Amino acid sequence: MAKKIIVNEEAFKALIKQSVIEESNITDSELNSKVKSAVSDAIKNDRDLEKKIKKIVADSVSLVFKTLWQRDNFWHNEIAK
């Protein structure tokens, strides 16, 4: 007859971590450094993407205002009618 074992989340995470470490033949500190490195790289990539998006938006808004300024007589006369 099968027995039920109730394991809380903390114990389950510890068991999974231990099994991953044993299967991959790395130490706990190596695993921690790899995880920290991956998270750091992801944050850096997010910042780079955010900078590129801000540059595109700023250039687009600048172009819109430049175009409106150059065509001031065109749209200003249409509004004043």
Q: Is residue 2 part of a domain?
A: no
Q: Is residue 55 part of a domain?
A: yes
Q: Is residue 6 part of a domain?
A: no
Q: Is residue 13 part of a domain?
A: no
Q: Is residue 1 part of a domain?
A: no
Q: Is residue 50 part of a domain?
A: yes
* CB of 15 closer than 8 Å to CB of 7: yes
Q: How many domains does the chain have?
A: 1
Sign of the torsion formed by the C-alpha atoms of 64, 69, 75 and 81: positive
- What is the residue range of 31's domain? 20-80
* CB of 68 closer than 8 Å to CB of 75: yes
The two most distant CA atoms of the chain are separated, in Å, by 90
Q: What is the pTM of this model?
A: 0.48
pLDDT score of 74 more than 80 = no
pLDDT score of 9 more than 80 = yes
Reference 68, options 60, 42, 44, 1; nearest CA is: 60
Confidence band of 75 (pLDDT split at 50, 70, 90)? low
